[in-house]
Structure formats: C-alpha cells, structure tokens
Chains A and B, each alone.
Chain A
Amino acid sequence: MNLHLKVWRQKSAQSEGRLADYEARNIPEDCSFLEMLDLVNEDLLSKGEEPIAFDHDCREGICGMCSLTINGIPHGPSETTTCQLYMRKFKDGQTIYIEPFRVGAFPLLRDLAVNRSAFDRIQQAGGFVSAHVGAAPDGNAILVPKTQADRAMEAAACIGCGACAAACPNASAMLFVGAKVTHLGSLPQGQPERDRRVLAMVRQMDAEGFGNCSNYLECEAVCPAEIPNSVIGQLNRDYASALVKDTL
C-alpha cells in the first residue's frame, strides 16, 4: 500500500519544528506501524537524508517505550500500543499525521522522541513497597481476596507509556498515577505505605507540571493496557483521606 505521511520533524528541543511530507510506497499490509517507519527511514538513508527519530524497544506491546500520536490519537486507531498497530488498519492512499506525545512534562528530544522520565520520577517518589521481602514466600502465605487481587492485577497492567497524558486535553497524568496507587494500594503488602505513597506521588506529579483531570476520559479511551478511569476515583479518595490524616 502507499501512504502519504505528515511527520513532525524537529532537530532538538530548542529548534523550531514542522510537519514534513513523505510518501511511503509499497508498504506491506502486515507491517507494524514502526516497521513502516523503518522502511521510510531506510529510504531516507539511501537518499542521504536524516532518518526520523522515534521511540521503540520491545515491539511486542509490553515495555511502554513506543509512543506517537497518529492522526490525533496516541497509539493511533488500535486498542494497543503503536508497535502492535498494523498497517491493515489504514487505507491505501490515506494521509497519516504523525506527531510526538505533546505534554509539557515530556520534553521533546528529537522529531517524535520525547523524554518521559517524569513518569520515572513519580514512580520513584512512592510507587514501590519498601518492606524487606527476603526469599519468595509460600504461595498462600499472604491471603488476598480474589476481588482485590483482580483489581491490583488490572491496575498493574499499566506499562507507563504516557499515552494517557498525551491524549488528555489537560495533559494530566492521573490515569497513570491512579493505576500505580491502585495497584499497590489494593494489596496487603502495599498497606503500610499507602498514605505516604499517594501523597508523595501526587506531590511529584504536580511538581512535574502535569495538568488536572476534568473527566474527559480520553485517557481511558487510548490506554493500551485498558486501565479503567475508576483508578482516578481511587486516587482522589486515597489522596484526600491521606491528606486529611496528614494535616490533622
């Protein structure tokens, strides 16, 4: 198939960027979106032009490194990550806009690559359990009700890709933070640090300059891990109760 691409090109964070036009020719339908970009890049290299920089790593939908806002939607028209998006989702001759994740807290590095370390810093602020774990415990030594285990598992599916913030009209990271807080907060091992965790993660989230959720629910629509927006409700409730306890 042949495609008309409009790709954001920008040399560095400081320089001006612009949408550049490229023709992608003879792209197999079974190519992934990133493989399509690889083909375009090979073409550019053979012509002696600078290839398009974009983020990727596992290419199997589990690492959260790939990004891209495709035709206005982070991770494009798929239920999964950009690396798991196949060209058969597009029509021959279609125009495709490819832009970086546009979030102030994710500074652009080059072209389509952005720096998502802000998420790592939020995670480092409290997204962990610091109890000494020792050797692996017996399977049923710590009992977890099934509903809680399911809830934690559902939230733990977050791969930290940042699409939620990229899709949010307010560039809010609350789906990501909600997922982390819900994941650990639903398990017995996460209880001792539950209040401290949510306070620290939200403080870091605010310091990074993310926006605030106003329930557009765009995050939930684009999340490749299908994190439900109820984790934001959980985040709001946990945060308020921790803040009240902390202040009084």
Chain B
Amino acid sequence: MNLLLSFWRSSIGKKWLVALSGLALLGFVAGHLVGNLQMFGGPSKINAYAEFLHANEKPLWVARIGIIAAFVLHVAATITLVLQNKSARPQAYQLGRNVQAKISTRTMAYSGLTVLSFVVFHLLHYTFRLTDPRFKVIAEGGLLETSHDVYRMVLLGFQSPLVSGFYLLSVGLLSLHLSHGISSAVQTFGLESKRSAQRIRQTGRLLSGAIFVGYASIPTAVLLGFLK
C-alpha cells in the first residue's frame, strides 16, 4: 500500500501504474477474446463456457474485482497525468507543429474515451441486459432459451447494424490504443535500451492487430449471416 502511494505521488510512478494496470487490462482483453471466439463453436460451446464461468462464482469475482481495480487505476492515473500535462503549458503556441508524433499517440485520449464509453454500453447491453428487452428467457417474455443462452443473445445483439457499427469502431480504436500503449509500456519499464525492445514493439503491434481481427470477426460474421 505504501509502495502504491509513493508511486502514485510522482509523475514517473504514475506512469508505471498506468503501464502495469494497462498490462493487466490487456490480459483481460486477450482472455475475453478467447472466450468470445467460442461463438464459432456453435451454441453448445459458448453456452457451456458461460455456464462454466457462472459455476465458478468465487474465482470469477476475484478476477472481476481485479479487472475493475486495474480499470479504475488506469483511468484515474491517466486523468491526473493529463491534467498535469495541460497545466504544464498554460500558453499554447500560435503556430504548433508536430515533427514525428504518431497518430495513435496523438489520439490516445479520444481512443481511450471511446473505449470507456463503449465498455459502459457493453456492460449495460450484455452483462446487465438492460438495453434490449429480448435478452430475457422465453418464460419472461424474451427470446433466450435459458439465461445462459449467450449464443442467441450475441446473435440478436449484433444483428443491429448500429450496435455492430459502434462495436467495430470501438474495437478498432482499442487496437490503436493498444498499439501505442504496448510500445509506451516498453518505454516506461525501461526496456528501450535492450535489443529486444524492437521485437516487443512489433509483437505489440501484431497483438493489437490480432485483437482487432478477433473481436471484429464476431459481429462481421453475424452481419454476413455466417453465424445464425
């Protein structure tokens, strides 16, 4: 706890917290993707997976609390850093110019905020099932066979082009966010001078690309009728 506080109190310490919590979130994003891809195994596969998760309530909650803590830390530390950055240059240049800053770097705040709003919607949509009245069991007037009928729920959800569109945009921005994030973490951990830095960066870019392709494949498959 003391360590967390002393890291929180300094600029570089906060960057470490952002990087470490980001890494934890990356782990979640990758794990969640592996789970989601069970969609391609048909209803029995993904529904069994949903049941398996819910059969293990305790470990599930440990993981959830960990993810929520990482998420809160990631967002809170970033917001304080950004506020400091803004006040570090009270007067802007009349003519500002970037020499080599990458687009993924310059859009971190926007991609991050879009992903944040997406996460809120995504939870209301599929986890709390508040936005779509069809996401109830048949007996309660919905369209799901059982409350673990994730397959049908995802299908119904992504058949809406609006939902799928927002989803695709968000995972696209998430992938952009990750490609900057991973290479930033290399710098924050001070691996930069190592020969492996370049390889970690490339792996990071590949990984963020793969994450996009993986996540995007599901709504695309639904919209194109491959999953039905």
Q: Does B84 contact A (CB under 8 A)?
A: yes
At the interface, yes or no: A248 with Cβ under 8 Å from chain B?
yes
Cβ contact within 8 Å between B105 and A234: no
Query: Once the chains bind, are B187 and A215 in contact (CB under 8 Å)?
Result: yes
Establish whether residues A97 and B94, one from each chain, have CB atoms under 8 Å apart when the complex forms: yes
Q: How many contacts A-B (CB < 8 Å)?
A: 142
- B120 on interface, CB distance cutoff 8 Å: no
The answer to whether B85 and A240 have CB atoms under 8 Å apart is no
Q: Which residues B78-136 have CB closer than 8 A to chain A?
A: 81, 84-85, 87-101, 105-106, 108
Q: How far is the CA of A47 from the CA of B94 in the complex (A)?
A: 27
B188: CB under 8 A from chain A? yes
Stretch from A26-34, A48-56, A101-109 contacting the other chain: A101-109
Q: Which listed residue (A103, A209, A212, A233) contacts B187, Cβ 8 A? A: A233
In the complex, A61 Cα to B189 Cα: how many Å? Answer: 33
Q: Contacts A73-B97, A209-B88; is A243 near B13 (CB within 8 Å)?
A: yes
Q: Is the pair A211, B88 in contact by a Cβ cutoff of 8 Å?
A: yes
Q: Is the interface of B mostly helix, strand, loop or mixed?
A: helix
Could you tell me if A102 and B99 are in contact, using CB atoms closer than 8 angstroms? no
Q: Establish whether residues A210 and B88, one from each chain, have CB atoms under 8 Å apart when the complex forms.
A: yes
Cβ contact within 8 Å between B3 and A218: no
16 contacts between A and B (CB under 8 A): A69-B93, A103-B88, A171-B89, A172-B85, A211-B89, A212-B85, A213-B187, A215-B105, A215-B180, A215-B187, A217-B105, A232-B192, A233-B197, A235-B12, A240-B12, A243-B13
11 new A-B pairs (CB below 8 Å) besides A216-B105, A234-B192, A240-B13?
Answer: A97-B95, A102-B89, A102-B93, A169-B101, A211-B85, A218-B101, A233-B187, A235-B12, A236-B15, A238-B190, A239-B10
What 9 pairs across the A-B complex have the smallest Cβ distances?
A237-B190, A233-B192, A72-B97, A211-B88, A170-B85, A171-B88, A211-B85, A221-B99, A216-B101
B binding-site residues for A, Cβ under 8 Å: 2-3, 6-7, 10-16, 81, 84-85, 87-101, 105-106, 108, 180, 183-184, 186-193, 197
Interface residues of A (CB under 8 A from B): 6, 8, 19, 69, 71-73, 97, 99, 102-105, 167, 169-172, 174, 202-203, 205-206, 209-218, 220-222, 229-230, 232-240, 243-244, 246-248
